[in-house]
Amino acid sequence: MGMNGEVRTRFAPSPTGFMHLGGLRTALYNYLFARKMGGKFILRIEDTDQERYVEGATEVIYDTLRGCGMQWDEGPDVGGPVGPYIQSERKDMYLPYAKQLVKTGHAYYCFCTECELRQRREAAEKRGEVFKYDKHCLSLTPEEVQAKLDAGTPYVIRQNAPTEGTTSYHDLVYGDMTFPNDTLDDMVLIKADGMPTYNFANVIDDHLMGITHVMRGAEYLSSTPKYNLLYEAFGWEVPQYVHLPSVMRDSHHKLSKRDGDAYYSDYVEKGYLTEALINYLALVGWNPGDDREFFTMDELVDVFDVARLNKAPGIFDVDKLTWFNAEYIRRMDFDRYLAMVTPWFDRVLAGKGIDYTRLAQLMQERTEVFNRVPDMVAFLGKLPEYDVDLYTHKKMKTNPEVATTALELCLPVLENIPEDAWSEANLHDRLMEKIQESGMKNGQVLWPLRIAISGQASTPGGAMEIAYLLGKDETLRRIREGMKLLESAREA
């Protein structure tokens, strides 16, 4: 265990501009485990790969984690006892450790140029072999090495990995893992620019930060032996490993950055709720052991158990996420729903004088994802073109002839309701009274009325609600247009 026996986990993203869902889930499991065990959750920014660095990307990481309700105990902005928590600010720390390994024979200076390595790689490929560094520079004498260093020859420092035997470790998800050492590469620890590689910095930082449980993606299962050889070379305690199943779109495909389904921000922009996303993401690769599906973050902390992580890849099913999202929206406080849906209404209804509160009441049950809202309410802003066939509905016993009668019945009733009495209750009472008088069935009148004023078969709310939302002038204008459409269909 770490300092005084407490569990310490870390999330160590690279600031590349976006938060991948796989990375977000890794953060979530690290957070849940640390909270469950009463330990510390540490945020470390791994920015040693300067070519991939994106301006402002660190803020994206902060905003995403905070927005999801994961607060870190130690990190770049909150500080802590083992900082700095940004790798590039630690860059002078790593070389002395690499030199220590050179002294003990666990690492060596390598002066091979890119060009030489490329030639050997191509030669290996021609022979049909997988290229790994051939320990060429390990044979240099200490004098030859010193001469090259004195001459200022560019170098990297490589790990001296064993070529025989096996390396084993225990993983809390995948069990006992054993790898033949002849598959290990002499990986670069310090690059030619003096910066550590991701692999080396990772080990040094995890040790110096007292990380007790390294929870990360399953793609690191096969690199872990190289890390463990470094821990052993330093005589350091090896952390516990928890490798997490990958997050896939289906059994054959990763989440695709191109299709807009890989990043947290993709879902937020589409109008998914963060809490629905976190709830669902927790269940992609882990299960609580019973049928419960809905969890707040605190409830997830309560039930989280590493033993229930799956080995198989977790399938991220957007339809299932959408189902969760619709449930969360339905259970949402109405005022919060109204505030969230307003900008989506505005896209198609801004300046139309529509009663958003009433529209939101009609829409909350029907909203699955916010970005689908504009299409569902656009008809209120502008009557869509529609086909006269919509007036025919078997179950409602209506067709164009019946519809013509129905609209002729409704028009004078609605004309006679004063503007200041244009309420759903009045619309309902006057229309129902007229329908009963006429001896027609409700559906025979209300279906054609709804088609005329909405131009579509499926709408939030019925004829009365839509007429109320549109207001008197627009309702009458649309009914008259409907009557013209029916007339020209008859003439044709």
Pick from 43, 59, 70: nearest CA to 209:
43
Which among 195, 222, 244 is the end of a domain?
244
Calpha distance 490→484 (Å, rounded): 10
Which among 227, 244, 261 is the end of a domain?
244
> For residue 191, how many C-alpha atoms fall within 13 Å in the half-sphere facing its CB?
12
In a domain, 424, yes or no: yes
- What pLDDT, on a 0 to 100 scale, did the predictor assign at position 196? 92
Phi first, then psi, for residue 86 (nearest 5°) are: -115, 125
Calpha distance 434→417 (Å, rounded): 13
CATH number, position 483: 1.10.10.350
C-alpha torsion angle, residues 29, 32, 33, 38 (rounded to 10): 160
Cβ–Cβ under 8 Å, residues 483 and 418: no
- What pLDDT, on a 0 to 100 scale, did the predictor assign at position 350? 97
In a domain, 48, yes or no: no
- What pLDDT, on a 0 to 100 scale, did the predictor assign at position 160? 98
In a domain, 448, yes or no: yes
In a domain, 455, yes or no: yes
pTM metric for this prediction = 0.92
- What pLDDT, on a 0 to 100 scale, did the predictor assign at position 16? 85
Calpha distance 438→451 (Å, rounded): 20
The residue behind tokens 């849906």 is 341
Cβ–Cβ under 8 Å, residues 60 and 263: no
In a domain, 274, yes or no: no
pLDDT per residue as tens digits for the range 148-187: 999 999 999 999 999 999 999 999 999 999 999 999 999 9
The number of domains in the chain is 2
Calpha distance 403→391 (Å, rounded): 6
CATH number, position 107: 3.40.50.620
The residue behind tokens 């229309």 is 431
Counts of helices then strands in the chain (DSSP H, E): 19, 11
In a domain, 402, yes or no: yes
CA 122 vs CA 114, 129, 133, 207: distances in Å: 12, 10, 12, 37
Number of neighbours of residue 233 by Cβ within 10 angstroms:
18
- What pLDDT, on a 0 to 100 scale, did the predictor assign at position 2? 46
pLDDT in tens, the chain (492 residues): 445 689 999 999 999 888 999 999 999 999 999 999 999 999 999 987 777 777 889 999 999 999 999 999 999 999 999 999 999 899 899 999 999 999 999 999 999 999 999 999 999 999 998 889 999 999 999 999 999 999 999 999 999 999 999 999 999 999 999 999 999 999 999 999 998 998 999 999 999 999 999 999 999 999 999 999 999 999 999 999 999 999 999 888 888 777 777 899 999 999 999 999 999 999 999 999 999 999 999 999 999 999 999 999 999 999 999 999 999 999 999 999 999 999 999 999 999 999 999 999 999 999 999 999 999 999 999 999 999 999 999 999 999 999 999 999 999 999 999 999 999 999 999 999 999 999 999 999 999 999 999 999 999 999 999 999 999 999 999 999 999 999 999 998
Calpha distance 156→145 (Å, rounded): 12
Residue range(s) defining the domain that contains residue 110: 91-244
Residues marked as catalytic: 257
In a domain, 354, yes or no: no
Q: Classify residue 250 by its DSSP letter.
A: S
Which among 244, 271, 293 is the end of a domain?
244
In a domain, 487, yes or no: yes
Supply the DSSP string of 426-469, one letter for each residue: HHHHHHHHHHHHHT--HHHHHHHHHHHHHSSS--SS-HHHHHHH
